[in-house]
Amino acid sequence: MKTNPGRFFEDYALGEVIAHAVPRTIGAGERALYHALYPARGAVHSSDAFARSVGLAASPLDDLIAFHTVFGKTVPDISLNAVANLGYAEGRWLAPVWPGDTLRSISEVIGLKETSSGATGVVWVRTRGVNQHGVTVLDYVRWVMVQKRRREVVVPVQVPTLAAVVDPGTLVVPPGLDFRRYDFALAGEPHRLGDYQVGEVIDHVDAVTIEEAEHMLATRLWQNTSKVHFDIGQREDGRRLIYGGHVISLARALSFNGLANAPFMVALNAGAHVSPCFAGDTLRAWSEVLDRAETAAP
Amino acid sequence: MKTNPGRFFEDYALGEVIAHAVPRTIGAGERALYHALYPARGAVHSSDAFARSVGLAASPLDDLIAFHTVFGKTVPDISLNAVANLGYAEGRWLAPVWPGDTLRSISEVIGLKETSSGATGVVWVRTRGVNQHGVTVLDYVRWVMVQKRRREVVVPVQVPTLAAVVDPGTLVVPPGLDFRRYDFALAGEPHRLGDYQVGEVIDHVDAVTIEEAEHMLATRLWQNTSKVHFDIGQREDGRRLIYGGHVISLARALSFNGLANAPFMVALNAGAHVSPCFAGDTLRAWSEVLDRAETAAP
Amino acid sequence: MKTNPGRFFEDYALGEVIAHAVPRTIGAGERALYHALYPARGAVHSSDAFARSVGLAASPLDDLIAFHTVFGKTVPDISLNAVANLGYAEGRWLAPVWPGDTLRSISEVIGLKETSSGATGVVWVRTRGVNQHGVTVLDYVRWVMVQKRRREVVVPVQVPTLAAVVDPGTLVVPPGLDFRRYDFALAGEPHRLGDYQVGEVIDHVDAVTIEEAEHMLATRLWQNTSKVHFDIGQREDGRRLIYGGHVISLARALSFNGLANAPFMVALNAGAHVSPCFAGDTLRAWSEVLDRAETAAP
């Protein structure tokens, strides 16, 4: 068979490193599409001039463009036969991605555990996104429930220990970043770090009703090949499941209204796709401030 | 509250200058999306080679990309609580916008008038789009009907005097423009200025049936945050109102068929959104020649 | 009349050369949109770094971006009044198209034949796509059935002789191409030329359910003005016919799964749009290996 059947649970080995296929150069086109697909308004990622005013060479690509591109490459090897995308942890953005950069993805299998049904298993992978200079731009752990090919195969159990929260001391700030000339009026809101209180909940107010064409354009853009997003024949109800990352980007973009001065995603402590999302759904977003930490950037 | 509630009628003061948030760098991606969203075929904005043949350094971005980008930035400050977008006047395009340029918007409140109901008022603003060099690329007056927060507040009336027509003597032609080598065959039509008669009506023949995904992609691309375009919960009928500028761009692009040799929008004499537009509507366009004027360009 | 009524059968003369209007510069934006519209994953067209590893200066634009752009320009002159787009033959891609290139199209009428009904005729054209340096990047024959304006006009019959298959000896490989460092893991599949057997049939497995917004975005992007793709008033059933090239691109992109190491389209032996395609249809693709040939590229 010439086509990729995807991997099943027993095809993964602990410690195995998978170099995912199809490197991707991303740039001005992906940036424009990101703005068309999501109501993103962060000034640093919208304007070269603004990015320069805070010490960067130009406007980097949105942190979630990097995430989706890196994630998409893992799908043919990790989640083509996934029953569910269970969670994320220990995510860190380690270097800006600039227009013209080429990203590829590498995953290491760090955990395996059969489910009690015996028909499926959970696979944990630590995925790195690497640019054309070999620099890791993004690093995260994901775990998925994958079908077994044969029920009787026994796979040794190994559950990784994951940090509940990314240690703020390990966060990486883009080199050169300097907020001393940050223009709050141009950025859209006056709120500073000190204005956010632990426990504060922000209703981001805006909402978006999602269309089929939008989530498919987005999901293809990230070269995510999961059939369930594109083919009405994949689910019994004939609906196309929306890529969870599309929802993440919508929520992040909606959060501008109240978090306009939080330009960078520096870590992903945890994440789960708790309910499926379909075209016609109307999405809202809210944030809760769980903690605060200072960085060394001026 | 961290989020932007938008301004109400009594929040505007005559002469107030509002620097709108979120500067935006636009380029090759926005150009491609413009061609995907609208059936634009003007040769100057389609081809670097053609643009050079008429004396420009490269193909500038479509004049309406500039308009929508500048307009979109004003929405959070001007029309978030607008009941209606009433009209435009005195619009002029003053400098080409090139790929890589960064635009921001500045509005001055030039008129205020309470409506007879006492519940709303009309606000007139003169908006300028400014590039990264501080050059004004676009200038227009817009007026909107905005809700009052409290009915009893009295605001002094000031209605601006607006020109019915932009004086042709004040129109600005892109520097260097030279039509002596203009290739009519490559541009798509043989018609010259002298072929258009005052009073002539042109039916532009083509039609487009509009989809939800298209107008939302467009409206987001211009970072227009008006809720009514995206959220089915905003109107009692559950329909998403299409951004009026989407209709303007569709009409302008359709007008290529009959006006192929009118590459630049140099002024906006007047404009009104006379009926709402919704997905499923099929749009046609026609033009009437109201007047003609010569420019100094060869 | 200022607008283009399109040509009728008797408006074509054998040997006539038609220089089609509206040259187009294509680049980073069109590349990104291509990836959003089609599940394209070929490494050479996805990554500058990968393209360099096989001897190219950068990642060229997808061969079908060139085809659609060249094709779209011919529509106003060739198929605006077409009843049917009957077939393709003798297609060859002759030079890579790089971001920033400007393409225009030139067609020569090489055949004319009235149909037995007397109401229509078939027109054969050989179309060339030419870049800003005057280099032909693409060459193909297309024939369409076009309406006659007046039934009584008699047009001399001339049916061109077309090759059933493009001679492999005339195929053009991009200059500098060198597969000695080709990374099969990064490309996505291990299969080499020798792994494909004549007669082998590959089911490409994946499927895509098509949306109205997607095919219209694509068709507009190629500046294809055929009314039937955009206007629900054009067909009695109120459906918008999907541009056949949209289907070609979907099929080509789906074929990655099984043909990942076939990066270039070098010829189009034949092609026909055998059934109409509409939004809501779910598209699958399969390939049959008809023959194999070697090239001089290392």
Question: Over C206-241, what HEC string results?
Answer: EEEECCHHHHHHHHHHCCCCCHHHCCCCCCCCCCCC
Task: Please give the average per-residue pLDDT across C84-96, as a whole number.
Answer: 95
Q: pLDDT value at position C298?
A: 80
The answer to whether B56 and B96 are in contact (CB under 8 A) is: yes
Task: Please give the average per-residue pLDDT across C227-244, as a whole number.
Answer: 96
Length of chain A measured in residues: 298
* Closest C-alpha among A61, A287, A285, A53 to residue A187: A53
Q: Which residue of B has its CA nearest to A212?
A: B213
Which residues, other chains included, contact B16 with Cβ-Cβ below 8 Å and sequence gap of 6+? Answer: B108, B109
In degrees, rounded to 5, the angle at the alpha carbon of residue A96 between the alpha carbons of residues A92 and A99 is 140
**Tokens for C187?**
């490309």
- Structure confidence at residue A295 as a pLDDT band (50, 70, 90): confident
Q: Map residue C54 onto helix, strand or coil.
A: coil
**Tokens for A153?**
């195969």
Check CB contact under 8 Å for A185 and B24: no
Please count the helices (runs of H) and the strands (runs of E) in chain A. 8, 9
Burial class (CB in 10 A: 0-12, 13-18, 19+), A295: middle
In degrees, rounded to 5, the angle at the alpha carbon of residue A14 between the alpha carbons of residues A8 and A17 is 85
Please report whether residue B169 resides in a domain: no
- Between positions 24 and 63 of A, the ones with CB within 8 A of B are 27-33, 35-39, 41-43, 46-50, 59
Check CB contact under 8 Å for C102 and B37: no
- Looking at beta carbons, which residues of chain A come within 8 Å of C42? 22
* Closest C-alpha among A152, A158, A119 to residue A12: A158
Q: pLDDT value at position B295?
A: 86
Q: Shortest CB distance from B213 goes to which of A202, A213, A257?
A: A213
Single-letter residue type at B161: T
Please report whether residue C167 resides in a domain: no
Please report whether residue C81 resides in a domain: yes
Distance CA B63, CA A33 (A): 20
- Between positions 247 and 286 of A, the ones with CB within 8 A of C are none
Task: Please give the average per-residue pLDDT across A242-253, as a whole number.
Answer: 97
Q: pLDDT value at position B134?
A: 98
Q: Is the pLDDT of residue A240 over 90?
A: yes
Q: Shortest CB distance from C33 goes to which of B27, B36, B48?
A: B36
The per-residue pLDDT for range A131-172, each reduced to its tens digit, is 999 999 999 999 999 999 988 888 889 999 999 999 999 999
**Tokens for A48?**
């070269």
Q: pLDDT value at position C281?
A: 98
A228: contact with C, CB 8 A cutoff:
no
The whole-angstrom distance between residue C38's C-alpha and the CA centroid of its chain comes to 14
Q: Shortest CB distance from B230 goes to which of A30, A208, A259?
A: A208
Mean pLDDT by 10 residues, chain B (298 residues): 91 97 98 98 98 98 98 96 91 98 98 92 97 98 94 88 95 94 96 96 97 98 97 96 97 97 96 94 97 87
- The DSSP line for A180-201 is GG--HHHHT----GGGPPTT-E
Q: Give the residue ranges of DSSP H helices in chain C.
A: 28-37, 43-46, 48-53, 63-78, 184-187, 212-221, 244-254, 256-259
Q: pLDDT value at position C154?
A: 83
The per-residue pLDDT for range C141-192, each reduced to its tens digit, is 999 999 999 888 888 899 999 999 999 999 999 999 999 999 999 999 999 9
The answer to whether B241 and B88 are in contact (CB under 8 A) is: no
Please report whether residue A157 resides in a domain: yes
* Residue C141, domain CATH: 3.10.129.10
Element (H, E) at C110: strand C102-114
Q: pLDDT value at position C89?
A: 97
Check CB contact under 8 Å for B22 and A46: yes
Domain that holds residue C201: 9-158+189-288
- The distance in angstroms from the start CA to the end CA of chain A is 57
Neighbour tally for C199: CB within 10 Å: 9
Q: Is the pLDDT of residue C84 over 90?
A: no
* Closest C-alpha among B105, B27, B11, B67 to residue B245: B67
Q: Which of A2-11, A18-27, B128-137 shows the lowest mean pLDDT across its residues? A: A2-11
Single-letter residue type at B114: E
Burial class (CB in 10 A: 0-12, 13-18, 19+), C169: exposed
- The DSSP line for C90-101 is EEEE-S---TT-
Q: Shortest CB distance from A225 goes to which of C30, C35, C39?
A: C39
Residue B131 has phi, psi (to 5 degrees) of -90, -175
Distance CA A223, CA A211 (A): 19
Q: What is the mean pLDDT of chain C?
A: 96
B207: contact with A, CB 8 A cutoff:
no
**Looking up tokens 């380029």, which residue turns up?**
B27
Q: pLDDT value at position B39?
A: 98
Which residues, other chains included, contact C133 with Cβ-Cβ below 8 Å and sequence gap of 6+? Answer: none
Q: Which residue of C has its CA nearest to A32?
A: C29
The answer to whether B105 and B130 are in contact (CB under 8 A) is: yes
Domain count, chain B: 1
Check CB contact under 8 Å for C3 and B202: yes
State the ipTM, two decimals.
0.97
Please report whether residue C263 resides in a domain: yes
Please report whether residue B1 resides in a domain: no
Minimum distance, in Å, between the CA of residue B243 and any CA atom of chain A: 14
Distance CA C65, CA C52 (A): 20
**Looking up tokens 């507040």, which residue turns up?**
B153
Q: Shortest CB distance from A27 goes to which of C28, C185, C203?
A: C28
- Pairs of residues, one from chain B and one from chain C, whose beta carbons lie less than 8 Å apart: 127
- Between positions 60 and 79 of B, the ones with CB within 8 A of A are 76
Which residues, other chains included, contact A121 with Cβ-Cβ below 8 Å and sequence gap of 6+? Answer: A9, A10, A112, A113, A114, A115, A145, A146, A148, A155
Check CB contact under 8 Å for B206 and C231: yes
- The DSSP line for B244-272 is HHHHHHHHHHHTHHHHTT-----EEEEE-
The answer to whether A51 and A187 are in contact (CB under 8 A) is: no
Please report whether residue B167 resides in a domain: no
- Structure confidence at residue C118 as a pLDDT band (50, 70, 90): confident
The per-residue pLDDT for range B116-172, each reduced to its tens digit, is 888 999 999 999 999 999 999 999 999 999 999 988 888 889 999 999 999 999 999
Q: Map residue A30 onto helix, strand or coil.
A: helix
Distance CA B163, CA A27 (A): 43
- Between positions 127 and 186 of C, the ones with CB within 8 A of B are 132
The answer to whether C74 and C226 are in contact (CB under 8 A) is: no
The per-residue pLDDT for range A181-203, each reduced to its tens digit, is 999 999 999 999 999 999 999 99
**Tokens for C164?**
């059933």
Please report whether residue C177 resides in a domain: no
Q: Shortest CB distance from B232 goes to which of A46, A214, A282?
A: A282
Torsional sign, CA A195, A199, A204, A210: positive
- Looking at beta carbons, which residues of chain A come within 8 Å of B32? 29, 32
Which residues, other chains included, contact A32 with Cβ-Cβ below 8 Å and sequence gap of 6+? Answer: B26, B27, B28, B29, B30, B32, B33, B221, C29, C32
**Tokens for B261?**
């040799």
User: Which of A103, A220, A223, A241 to mutate: most C Cβ within 10 Å?
Assistant: A220
Q: What is the mean pLDDT of chain A?
A: 96
CA dihedral of residues C152, C158, C164, C165 (deg, nearest 10): -120
- Structure confidence at residue A290 as a pLDDT band (50, 70, 90): very high
B107 DSSP assignment: E
